[in-house]
């Protein structure tokens, strides 16, 4: 996760505050794709133009990003897909990674009882990947175009290559993590003869892997040649993932979380994501607070939202985890009485020290690196997809002979309760490591409806900052009336309880920062918070916005 902070500094665009006005959104009448990488966007739009639906395009985009966005796009990681079909049906496909059977609760503690960095880099950091199984499940149940054709753009991009962008060239060169592992250093850094912008980048091993998946489906990745090579690489290098782990991996469908905010319906991610619970709880706190009357970007409104974030993250790090292994009190955390108590605990004039904030017990109320893409098709079906290999370039390891990077998702578990992980999140016992368990996630694919019709599709990468990013995009549109371009590009802020720090992007005025410090906030400026990808449906048009913090692209027809 330290790697992604460096990557963010390299890829971040000019802060919003330096623009006289943010650019207009991309507009289209029929369909729209927004991703962090132009080739992937083009692959998705081509599928839609050819009659594919949003899920078909999501499959094509997911595999294309595995080629063109190696820091986050993947087949060696996992994620979530939130889907709303035009007839009103919704589903949430969970293809989060799982802990290998050989994993154990204290596996990342050193002789002194403190966490080591083994969960961040190397073979032991990888969880069992879920992306290929998840995309196949989505396609089998909701897609309509032939599977092989949807992978064809990715196979071509890997085999024939693509021109390296300026941002990708800088990112590959800067990665000390890739340099640690010979196969990764050979493929992505040419053993020190680094790629320059405009050079062709070909990945023949990855092309072969993708071609097998195109012909044989997920069976190749989990039981076939790819599975056998991956398992052999693990054995040879001290990794934990076995052929049995791969064979037994399954993606699952879950019910999306639903809530309401100022007349809008919010569809979002259930556990093992913490993001959806966070979005609904925080919007519940804000709805009757009157915070919005102070205006977007004001010290007063930022203060109240930051205090709301602080309280959610205290609960997140205490109660949320994989619902297949832990009873997660979602109903209690979203109960109106619980939410009201959180609202009442906020002083509108002064920051509460995080040491004085603990997770309110919901029992009595019960009844790094990631990427996101948003898609709406010509029939009005919407797919919101966030998937990840966790840190930038995952654990740094490229699977021998297979060409794809592996995740370091094991770092999202609690190595030791009370100790921060690489993203600085302090987590609790509920998220402790268990074989087969899915680590807690912050990924927050979200869809908003107005009067029962599609209104907004949004999501972001950024570890724990994902939740703040998605929240602020929604608030910018709903409460402050921004178009989707302005809502995505607006400077952002983030508070995660511990550390007791209010992180803020460049673009806020010095007076605002001074007022926040005067209210008791420990303010720290960071280069970037999240990289949202959003689509707004309004007035017969689709508005698409790829974050100016990225080299993304919105395109439609």
DSSP string, 265-276: EEEEPPTTBSHH
Selection from 13, 163, 50 nearest residue 532 by Cα:
13
Using 50, 70 and 90 to split pLDDT, how confident is the model at 420? Answer: confident
pLDDT of residue 188: 98
The span from the CA of 125 to the CA of 246, in Å, is: 16
Fold of the CATH domain 254-369+444-545: Serum Albumin; Chain A, Domain 1 (1.10.246)
For 207-221, how does the pLDDT look when each residue is reduced to its tens digit (9 = 90+)?
A: 999 999 999 999 999
pTM, 2 dp = 0.93
Number of C-beta neighbours around residue 208 at 10 A: 18
**Helices 166-174, 2-11: crossing angle, 10 deg rounding:** 150
Q: Which of 201, 72, 211, 75 is nearest to 151 (CA)?
A: 211
The tokens describing 250, both together, are 């399954």
Question: Phi/psi of residue 177, each to 5°?
Answer: -65, -50
Residue 376 pairs in a beta bridge with: 32, 382
Q: Which residues contact 206 (CB under 8 A, 6 or more apart)?
A: 66, 67, 158, 402, 403, 404
Q: pLDDT tens digits for 128-171?
A: 999 999 999 999 999 999 999 999 999 999 999 999 999 999 99
Q: What is the pLDDT of residue 369?
A: 73
If you average pLDDT over residues 357-377, what whole number do you get? 77
Give the Cα separation of 328 and 400 in Å (integer): 38
When pLDDT is averaged across residues 287-293 and rounded to a whole number, the result is: 97
Provide the pLDDT for residue 14: 35
Tokens of 352: 């509460």
Residue 415 vs residue 200, higher pLDDT: 200
Q: CB under 8 Å to 425, separation ≥6 — which residues? A: 313, 317, 463, 464, 496, 498
Mean pLDDT of all residues belonging to the chain: 93
Asked if 61 and 35 count as a contact pair (C-beta separation under 8 A), the reply is yes
Nearest CA among 436, 96, 465 for reference residue 272? 96
Q: Answer yes or no: is pLDDT of 269 > 70.
A: yes
- The mean pLDDT value for 480-495 works out to 97
* CA dist., res. 301 & res. 348, Å (int): 9
Residues contacting residue 202 through CB under 8 Å, at least 6 positions apart:
158, 159, 160, 161
pLDDT for 11 equals 37
SS3 466: helix
The helix/strand/coil state of 206 is helix
**Cα–Cα distance between 307 and 353 in angstroms, integer?**
10
Residues in the chain: 557
For the cut 80, the answer to whether the pLDDT of residue 472 exceeds it is: yes
Residues 6+ apart with CB under 8 A from 480: 292, 295, 296, 487
What's the average model confidence in pLDDT over 394-411?
97
Tell me, what's the pLDDT at 7?
38
For the residues 28-33, what does the mean pLDDT come to?
A: 98
Query: Which of the four pLDDT bands, split at 50, 70 and 90, describes residue 419?
Result: confident
pLDDT digits (tens, 9 = 90+) for 304-330: 999 999 999 999 988 999 999 999 999
So where are the chain's domains?
2-248+370-416, 254-369+444-545
- Per-residue tokens: 122: 């190397």
Structure confidence by residue, pLDDT tens digits, 74-122:
999 999 999 999 999 999 999 999 999 999 999 999 999 998 889 999 9
Tokens for 283? 């919007």
Residue partners of 354: CB distance under 8 A and separation at least 6: 310, 314, 497, 498, 499, 500
pLDDT 10s digits, 521-546: 999 999 999 999 999 999 999 999 99
Per-residue pLDDT for 512 more than 90? Answer: yes
Residue 429: pLDDT band (50, 70, 90) is: confident
Query: Which distant-in-sequence residues (6+ apart) come within 8 Å of 530 by Cβ?
Result: 460, 461, 462, 465, 466, 468, 469, 470, 492, 547, 549
370 is catalytic: yes
Q: Above 70 in pLDDT, residue 2?
A: no
Q: pLDDT at residue 244 above 90?
A: yes
Q: What is the pLDDT of residues 8-23, one digit of tens each?
A: 433 333 333 333 345 7
Element (H, E) at 523: strand 523-525
> From the candidates 370, 386, 414, 469, which is the catalytic residue?
370
Count of CB atoms situated within 10 Å of the CB of 290: 12
- Per DSSP, what are the bridge partners of residue 203? none
Residue 426 contacts by C-beta under 8 Å, 6 or more apart in sequence? 317, 418, 419, 420, 497, 498
């Amino acid at each position: 996760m330290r790697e992604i902070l460096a990557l963010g500094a390299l890829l971040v665009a000019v802060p919003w505050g330096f623009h006289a006005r943010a650019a207009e959104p991309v507009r289209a009448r029929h369909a729209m794709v927004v991703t962090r990488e132009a080739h992937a966007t083009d692959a998705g739009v081509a599928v839609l133009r050819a009659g594919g639906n949003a899920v078909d395009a999501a499959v094509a985009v997911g595999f294309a990003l595995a080629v063109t966005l190696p820091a986050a796009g993947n087949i060696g990681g996992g994620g979530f897909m939130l889907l709303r079909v035009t007839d009103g049906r919704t589903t949430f496909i969970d293809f989060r990674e799982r802990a290998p059977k050989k994993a154990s609760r204290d596996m990342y503690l050193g002789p002194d009882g403190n966490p080591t960095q083994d969960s961040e880099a190397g073979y032991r950091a990888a969880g069992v990947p879920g992306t290929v199984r998840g995309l196949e499940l989505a396609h089998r149940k909701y897609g309509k175009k032939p599977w092989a054709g949807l992978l064809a753009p990715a196979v071509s991009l890997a085999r024939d290559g693509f021109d390296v962008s300026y941002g990708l060239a800088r990112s590959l060169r800067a990665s000390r993590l890739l340099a640690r592992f010979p196969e990764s250093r050979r493929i992505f850094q040419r053993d020190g003869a680094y790629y320059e912008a405009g050079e062709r980048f070909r990945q023949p091993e990855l092309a072969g892997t993708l071609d097998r998946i195109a012909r044989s489906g997920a069976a190749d990745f989990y039981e076939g040649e790819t599975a056998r090579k991956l398992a052999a690489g693990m054995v040879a290098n001290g990794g934990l993932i076995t052929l049995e782990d791969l064979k037994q991996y399954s993606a699952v469908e879950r019910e999306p979380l639903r809530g309401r905010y100022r007349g809008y319906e919010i569809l979002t991610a259930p556990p093992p994501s913490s993001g959806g619970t966070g979005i609904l709880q925080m919007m519940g706190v804000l709805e009757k607070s009157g915070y919005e009357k102070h205006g977007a970007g004001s010290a007063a409104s930022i203060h109240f939202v930051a205090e709301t974030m602080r309280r959610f993250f205290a609960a997140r790090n205490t109660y949320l985890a994989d619902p297949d292994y832990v009873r997660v009190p979602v109903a209690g955390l979203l109960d109106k009485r619980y939410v009201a108590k959180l609202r009442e605990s906020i002083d509108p004039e002064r920051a509460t020290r995080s040491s004085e904030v603990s997770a309110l017990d919901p029992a009595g109320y019960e009844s790094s690196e990631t990427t996101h893409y948003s898609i709406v098709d010509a029939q009005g079906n919407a797919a919101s997809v966030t998937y990840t290999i966790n840190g930038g370039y995952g654990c740094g390891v490229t699977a021998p002979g297979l060409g794809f990077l592996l995740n370091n998702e094991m770092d999202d578990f609690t190595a030791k309760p009370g100790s921060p992980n690489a993203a600085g999140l302090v987590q609790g016992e509920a998220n402790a490591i268990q074989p087969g368990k899915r680590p807690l996630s912050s990924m927050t694919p979200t869809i908003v409806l107005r009067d029962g019709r599609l209104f907004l599709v949004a999501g972001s990468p950024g570890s724990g900052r994902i939740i703040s990013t998605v929240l602020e995009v929604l608030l910018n549109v709903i409460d402050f009336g921004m178009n989707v371009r302005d809502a995505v590009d607006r400077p952002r802020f983030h508070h995660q309880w511990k550390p007791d720090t209010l992180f803020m992007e460049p673009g806020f005025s010095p007076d605002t920062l001074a007022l926040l410090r005067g209210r008791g906030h420990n303010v720290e400026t960071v280069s970037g918070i999240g990289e949202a990808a959003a689509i707004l449906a309004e007035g017969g048009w689709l508005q698409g916005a790829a974050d100016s913090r990225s080299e993304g692209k919105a395109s439609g027809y």
